[in-house]
Amino acid sequence: MAFVVVDEGESIESALKRFKRRVQQEAIIKEIKKHSVYFKPGEKKRMKEAQARKRMRRRMKREKDLDY
């Protein structure tokens, strides 16, 4: 669980910014969204394959751009 200790004299805005960064680093929001909806096993597999294709396209594009 993410938590932030507020230092003496620290503004609430900076503490909130640190808290948001910590939550994002720990992928808490991503995990909550993942468990908020049920996907059938076949649906999960299709989504996983689509993500893999997307990553591969992105990687190939980066490599192509670096060749020039």
pLDDT digit string, tens, across residues 18-43 = 999 999 998 888 888 888 999 999 99
The first and second tokens of residue 16, run together, are 């909130």
* Helix axes of 12-25 and 28-36: crossing angle, nearest 10 degrees: 60
**Which own/partner contact pairs does 11-16 have at CB distance under 8 Å and 24+ positions apart?**
none
Helix (H) or strand (E) holding 38: none
Do 30 and 8 have their domain in common? yes
* Distance, CA of 44 to CA of 48 (rounded, Å): 6
Do 31 and 48 have their domain in common? no
Total-model pTM? 0.49
Do 23 and 45 have their domain in common? no
Q: Tens digits of per-residue pLDDT, 7-16?
A: 999 999 999 9
* Distance, CA of 20 to CA of 45 (rounded, Å): 31
Do 1 and 29 have their domain in common? yes
Number of domain units in the chain: 2
